[in-house]
Structure 1
Amino acid sequence: MIDSFQVFALAALAVGFAGISKAGFGSGAAFASAALLALVMPPKVALGIMLPLLMLIDLAALRPFWGKWSWPDAKVLILGGVPGVAAGVWLFSVANDDVLRLLIGLVSVGFVAWQLWTGATKQRVVPIWGGLVAGCVAGFTSFISHAGGPPAAVYLLSRGLGKTTYQATTVLVFWVINIAKFVPYAFLGAFSLQTLWADIILAPFAVLGAVVGVKAHYVLPERAFFAVTYVLLTLTGAKLIFDALT
């Protein structure tokens, strides 16, 4: 657990990064925070620490973006996401995580390459059924690794949303999905007095990261925002592919 300054510094950095990513840039790279924590503690403990902090970040980001989301697109992802969480509960102990990481990584990187190939003026809209599939995958990968951002981004980035509408929609979607994850996490033993104490220590960094993320969101021009989002999606996809193959 957090038993040294080095571990605390890494955890604070990871949580602050999650806050900036979730509150400002569509959650694309927030999953990396759990991966960083897993370097210095058991993965199950890292996931248990991160979920309440991610929920705190959701709350901090919800008010600035309240009502600015695309409800039709959010509804599609949520309707797919909740069953995806249920599938994550069921398959948590038997799923082949590396195959899943590889598939999501290939989809993420492939989507960016596809959009660059077709050009910004020729973006193709992912259909509703594709959004339901993306939501289901996002719910599942969010449950097992807090990595729901890339599948959701694949759907939302194709919908032609403005940067604030896009960001607000991701905040709403993952607020609901993270709530749906909480009770199953408790039953699976992911929470303890130690994880609670770690959350109390790290909560200020989560809120600070969220505040910085919201401010950065409004400072960046729309073109730069989506450039950053595509970069984050590429990096997260590449990281998932690397993790799967190594």
Structure 2
Amino acid sequence: MSIDPSLYLAAVPAVILVGLTKGGMGEALALMGVPILAMVVPPVQAAAILLPILVASDVVSLWIWRRHNDRRTLQLLLPGGIIGIGLGWATSAYVPRDALRLIIGIITIFFALRYFYGQWQIRRGIAVPPKPHRAGPAAFFGTLAGYGSFVAHAGGVPFQVYALPLKLPPRDYTGAAVRYFAILNAVKLVPYFALGQLDTAHLTISATLAPIAVAATAAGGYMVKRMKPDVFYPFMYTMALLAGLKLAYDGVALLV
């Protein structure tokens, strides 16, 4: 694949959005990365270009959030995530990606709207306690996150559906999310190489864009670390709602 210099007109803003997400700014920003880049290259190539950039950003975000984590969240979600990647590798040629986007989008829209309904209940004096860890939902959403991450870089939304209702301290939530997707992205390198998606041309483009992603990741981490819980959670649910709407729209538009 020859490198068209005009590709960078789309790639730079896409990578900035992905980097901000890796810093902790919410999945909705990252979901714009592949579509923006797909305006100038095929979607499969866009995903292949972004994967090494995601891995580079993971290194920075792991350092930024190295002191924060929720080990139980990671323990429960990670096995499903690995299984989901395996399922994605085995079945991605047979399962329409647009149908997956639509399903994840609809789940996320209802999930976010439920949160805002809960906030309305709180204003009426009705308490909404944090949800406990549950092995069954963790396995389901962890697997969906791994599968969505492999086929469409859309794994953050299922992670949010499980983890946000736990109402963890914002820094612990972000630390767990950073670790979870850093591991998944590292694992995804193997099947992407096996499928021939990480060729020299793709890796060259990724390498030139990685410094921009690293800077955006640091900026995203700086902003999120300064958010109070009463700002962080409404922001994250709003971003989840936007992500759900974007996924649902893409799924419907490309299936009809």
TM-score normalised by length of structure 2: 0.91
**2:5 maps to which residue?**
4
Q: Distance in 2 between matches of 1:191 and 1:128?
A: 35
Note the alpha carbon deviations across 1:95-145, whole angstroms, 9 max, x for none: 022221111101111001112223363145262210111010000000001
Q: Distance in 2 between matches of 1:26 and 1:82?
A: 22
Residues 27 and 170 of structure 1 are in contact (CA less than 8 Å); yes or no, is this contact kept in structure 2?
A: no
Which amino acid in structure 2 is aligned with residue 169 of structure 1? A
For structure 2, the 5+ residue unaligned runs are none
Q: Distance in 2 between matches of 1:76 and 1:122?
A: 23
Which amino acid in structure 2 is aligned with residue 238 of structure 1? L
**Residues 219 and 67 of structure 1, relative CA distance in 2, 3 Å threshold:** closer
- Given the alignment of the two structures, is residue 158 of structure 1 paired with residue 165 of structure 2, yes or no? yes
1:116-127 matched pairs, under 5 angstroms? 116-119=116-119, 121-123=127-129, 125=131, 127=134
**Residues 123 and 241 of structure 1, relative CA distance in 2, 3 Å threshold:** farther
The percent of aligned pairs where both chains have the same amino acid is 29
**1:106 maps to which residue?**
106
**2:234 maps to which residue?**
227
Q: Distance in 2 between matches of 1:67 and 1:79?
A: 23
Which amino acid in structure 1 is aligned with residue 166 of structure 2? R
Q: Distance in 1 between matches of 2:212 and 2:238?
A: 24
Q: Distance in 1 between matches of 2:26 and 2:176?
A: 8
Note the alpha carbon deviations across 1:61-101, whole angstroms, 9 max, x for none: 10121141101101111111000000000111000222211
- Given the alignment of the two structures, is residue 188 of structure 1 paired with residue 195 of structure 2, yes or no? yes
Instruction: Quote how far apart the aligned CAs of 1:43 are.
Output: 1.2
Q: Distance in 2 between matches of 1:2 and 1:230?
A: 38
Q: Distance in 2 between matches of 1:89 and 1:69?
A: 29
Q: Distance in 2 between matches of 1:132 and 1:95?
A: 20
- Given the alignment of the two structures, is residue 175 of structure 1 paired with residue 182 of structure 2, yes or no? yes
**1:37 maps to which residue?**
37
**1:25 maps to which residue?**
25
- Superposed CA RMSD in Å reads 1.5
**Residues 26 and 75 of structure 1, relative CA distance in 2, 3 Å threshold:** farther
Q: Distance in 2 between matches of 1:169 and 1:25?
A: 14
Instruction: Quote how far apart the aligned CAs of 1:26 are.
Output: 4.5
Q: Distance in 1 between matches of 2:145 and 2:29?
A: 13
Aligned residues: 245
**2:221 maps to which residue?**
214
Q: Distance in 2 between matches of 1:144 and 1:135?
A: 14
Q: Distance in 2 between matches of 1:87 and 1:93?
A: 11
22-31 vs 213-222, which moves further: 22-31
For residue 129 of structure 1, the aligned residue among 132, 136, 145 is 136
Instruction: Quote how far apart the aligned CAs of 1:208 are.
Output: 0.7
Instruction: Quote how far apart the aligned CAs of 1:27 are.
Output: 3.9
**2:65 maps to which residue?**
65
Residues 109 and 245 of structure 2 are in contact (CA less than 8 Å); yes or no, is this contact kept in structure 1?
A: yes
**Residues 236 and 27 of structure 1, relative CA distance in 2, 3 Å threshold:** closer
TM-score normalised by length of structure 1: 0.95
Q: Distance in 2 between matches of 1:123 and 1:241?
A: 29
Which amino acid in structure 1 is aligned with residue 240 of structure 2? L
**1:205 maps to which residue?**
212
93-102 vs 185-194, which moves further: 93-102
Q: Distance in 2 between matches of 1:46 and 1:154?
A: 26
Computing the radius of gyration from Cα coordinates, the structure with the larger value is: 2
